[in-house]
Each structure stands twice: as C-alpha cells, then as structure tokens.
Amino acid sequence: MYKNNFITAFVAAAGMGKRMNMDINKQFLTIDDVPILAHTIKKIEKSKYIDFLEIIVKESDMCYVEDILEKYKFNIDYKIVFGGKERQDSIYNGILNMPDRTDIVLTHDGARPFVSVSKIDEAIENVFETGACVLANPVKDTIKVSIDGKIVDYTPNRDNLWQVQTPQVFKADILKKAYEQAYSEGYYGTDDCSLVEKTGIKVKLIYNSYDNIKITTREDLSIANILVKKVKE
C-alpha cells in the first residue's frame, strides 16, 4: 500500500525473445545461476509498497515458471496470467485479471532484473503528480531518423530525447482507459506510456541509472553477467 492505495505489479514475461535466437525464452536464461525472471521478481517482492503481483507468461512456458516459483518461494501474493500475441495484449490481459481493489498499476519487463528497489518505490511515490510516470534516462548517442532504413532524413535534438525503461506506473483507471481507447482505435504502441499519452495524460519522467538494461540480445546477457557482480559489491 502507498497512502491507502492498493498496488498491483505486472511482470511481463510472455515475449518470444526472437533477438536472443535461443530455444528458451530469455526470461528463463540465468545470470549468476539464477533465472532472469527470478532476479526480477525478487526486486518487485522487496518493494515496500507493492501488494500483489501478476506474472504474465506464455502458457507453453508454465513448466519453467512453476519451477521458479517452487524453488524461490517468493513472499508476495501473486497470480499467473497468460500473455497474448503482442506485449500490449499481454498487459491488457493483466488489466482484465487484476484485483478489483487495484488503485495503482506498475508494469515491468521480466527481462529487466537490475532495476533498484528504491527506484521502484520512487516511481510509485511520483505517480500522483500526473497519474503516470516512467523511469528513464537521457539518450547518450546521437539519434538519426531514417524513413527507408537507408538514408538519414533528419537528426533530432539529442537534448530532448529520453530512453524510457520500466517500471512504468499509472493510476489504474488511467491505464485501463488508455488500453480501451487503443483497442477501439486499432492502435498498438511500443509501451504502456505511449497508450496513455494518446489520451492526453502527461507522463512524468523519473531519472534512473543506465544499469537498468533490458536483456534482449546475447550481448546484453554478457553485460548482465558483469552487472550482477557489481550489484553484489
């Protein structure tokens, strides 16, 4: 709870992991001999505000999930929700299955195990300013826009560019309305914030560490095995 608001966290772990090019979903690969998904749930579990967890997975991955839940015995009330075709469909399934008393929803990628617990809590504390907030950091590289993928069309001002991460935190009614509007308009966004933005709600940025990487490629997995040692120090 935070200020008498019941908080439900979604951990989205139903992706295909195509860029990893491995037979197993990336969330079930290990870092320091612990599955990535287990690392991530441990961070959610340690938040002083989160009341309930939904683990959103592919039905075909249930054997992996059950093994993790049996081995690590997380100290948080949880529910398994099956994902959909796209991430957006998976999160919407989460919305449809969340506890009725949910006031605040936190969405987080199962493949982001290095988020700090303090930043999870900070994001929750800041959601009331606009009804939506996200962890993010300034873009370090110069970004080029190319329509055809061959020629540069223009270069946006890097000073105005932020790389958003998860968790993303919303008032539950705002997120639900955003998803309903997206489906009514046939719109698919790349993250939850993009759907909320289309309803006119402003999203607050919370500055975060560059360590909060999403493990998507084999190179990311190599970096993760270095970062996990840093976390232990």
Does 19 score more than 80 pLDDT? no
Weakest-pLDDT range from 2-11, 94-103, 142-151, 223-232: 223-232
d(CA 140, CA 142): 7
Say if 178 falls within a structural domain: yes
d(CA 119, CA 112): 13
Does 136 score more than 60 pLDDT? yes
pLDDT of residue 74: 95
pLDDT of residue 57: 96
Tokens of 207: 């500055």
Structural domain for 144, as ranges: 7-232
Does 130 score more than 60 pLDDT? yes
pLDDT of residue 25: 80
d(CA 122, CA 150): 41
Say if 2 falls within a structural domain: no
* pTM (two decimals): 0.93
User: pLDDT tier at 233 (50, 70, 90 boundaries)?
Assistant: very low
d(CA 179, CA 93): 11
From its phi and psi, is residue 178 left (phi > 0), alpha (psi between -120 and 50) or beta? alpha
- Count of other CB atoms within 10 angstroms of residue 209: 13
CATH of the domain at 129: 3.90.550.10
What sign for the dihedral angle of Cα 218, 219, 220, 225?
positive
Does 17 score more than 70 pLDDT? no
Weakest-pLDDT range from 11-15, 107-111, 145-149: 11-15
pLDDT of residue 20: 61
Structural domain count, the chain: 1
User: pLDDT tier at 65 (50, 70, 90 boundaries)?
Assistant: very high
Say which amino acid occupies 164.
Answer: V
d(CA 120, CA 134): 10
What would the pLDDT profile of 144-172 be if each residue is shown by its tens digit? 999 999 999 999 999 999 999 999 999 99
Does 178 score more than 70 pLDDT? yes
Say if 1 falls within a structural domain: no
- In sequence order, what DSSP letters do the residues of 5-44 get, joined into one string? B-EEEEEEE----GGGTSSS-GGGSEETTEEHHHHHHHHH
Average pLDDT of the residues in 108-119: 96
